[in-house]
Amino acid sequence: MGAPTNDHLEELRRDGVTVVHGLFGPQEVAALQEAAAKTFPSVETVLANPTDPALGLDPVGLAYRTFPYKTGPLNLVPFNQDLLDFAQTAFEGQTPFLTQSMLRATYPLPNSADQKLHRDYTDNGLLYPSDDPAFESLAVLVYLTDVGPDNAPLFVVPEGYGQDRPGLPRERPPDLDPDLNAHEAPVLAEAGSVVLYTHNAWHRGSRYAGTTGWRVVMHVVLRPAGCEWLSFTAWGRFFEHRGAIACMEQLTPRQRTALGVPPPGHRYWTASTIAGVNARYPNMDMEPYRQLVR
């Protein structure tokens, strides 16, 4: 329970996937669950009229929100210090950079559907996953609800099996690759747990087989800073609403580097830029940057 360890790193490099149980504690989980309940329509509302377009569900009954979120506690999840420390170690010392964060709710609806086994590299970068950890993305799933066999668990192909498959096709259903599909296994874990996997790992989402509850998961992707071919989101245009501004103000200088903000001591920071950034984010503590102005 708690922070990821070297054993998790070894498992990630060997198998392409590892699970950290209890990275987020009970109080954090409760606050995040409350925030998620304010973000999405309730299960009761969805079940009462699942085809209501005002609910914003996709064709298979999923609801999405993207970072920066309008409910405060959710914004801090991608910047968990233990998670950033682990990513920096996995990236062999390179600074982690956030490329995406998405919150997804899965409801117990009959149109819930299984995905095909796939890799995510084609929509998370321009090239192909590297074998060098200094050039490899880290995908993160944060379970905000307990995920059992009936709660649409993630399925993975563990122990590194199938990583020798060619890059395309990126989807490999049972009729195309029965052997690969025979090796898949669900990732079952309690709320507050985190699944870490590489974009070379075979995985898929599964249908919600239960008839009660819901599954809420936050998707996060980190990459080593400087690997511009590993891309998904340009953050600047999203940091205008109040929730986003509050998020920037709450982060530490180290956490802000995951968004591309230069660290204290960088030549970007001058009296002029400090004043300008402070005007954009009035409650941001500028002292760490001011102290190291050359």
What pLDDT, in 10s, does the model give residues 92-138? 999 999 999 999 999 999 999 999 999 998 889 999 888 898 999 99
pLDDT at residue 2, rounded to an integer: 83
Q: Are 243 and 68 in contact (CB under 8 A)?
A: yes
Domain assignment present for residue 199? The answer is yes
Please indicate, yes or no, if residue 191 is contained in any of the structural domains.
yes
Per-residue three-class SS string for the chain: CCCCCHHHHHHHHHHCEEEECCCCCHHHHHHHHHHHHHHCCCHHHHHHCCCCHHHCCCCCCEEEEECCCCCHHHHHHHHCHHHHHHHHHHCCCCCEEEEEEEEEEECCCCCCCCCCCECCHHHCCCCCCCCCHHHCCEEEEEECCCECCCCCCEEECCCCCCCCCCCCCCECCCCCCHHHHHCCEEECECCCCEEEECCCCCEECCCCCCCCCCEEEEEEEEEECCCCCCCCCCCHHHCCCHHHHHHHHHCCHHHHHHHCCCCCCCCCCCHHHHHHHHHHCCCCCCHHHHCCCC
pLDDT attached to residue 95: 96
In a domain? residue 106? yes
Q: Give a yes or no: residue 275 inside a domain.
A: no
Q: What's the predicted TM-score (pTM) here?
A: 0.93
pLDDT for residue 49 is more than 70: yes
Asked whether residue 243 is domain-assigned, the answer is no
Give the residue carrying structure tokens 């920071």: 269
Tokens of 56: 């914003």
H or E element, residue 148: none
Q: Which tops the pLDDT comparison, 234 or 262?
A: 262
Name the band, by pLDDT with cuts 50, 70 and 90, for residue 276.
Answer: very high
pLDDT of residue 72: 86
Strand-pair partners of 196 = 18, 140
Of 67, 56, 1, 109, whose CA–CA distance to 248 is shortest? Answer: 67
Q: What is the model's pLDDT at position 1?
A: 65
Any idea what the CATH number is for the domain that residue 39 is in?
2.60.120.620
> Distance of alpha carbon 161 from its chain centroid, rounded?
23
Q: CB-based contacts of 34: which residues, under 8 Å, 6+ apart?
A: 73
For 183, phi and psi rounded to 5 degrees? -95, -5
Of 78-87, 133-142, 165-174, the range with the lowest mean pLDDT is 165-174
Residue 266 falls inside a structural domain: no
**Residue 294, domain member (yes or no):** no
Going from the C-alpha of 205 to that of each of 60, 123, 156, the distances in angstroms are 12, 16, 9
Question: For the chain, how many structural domains are there in total?
Answer: 1
pLDDT of residue 176: 95
Cα 6–chain centre separation = 21
Q: Tell me the two tokens of residue 190.
A: 């309690």
In a domain, 272, yes or no: no
Distance CA 116, CA 171 (A): 6
Tell me what percent of the chain is helix, strand and coil, each rounded to the nearest 5. Answer: 30, 20, 50
Q: What is the span of the domain harbouring residue 114?
A: 6-237
Percent of the chain with pLDDT over 70: 100
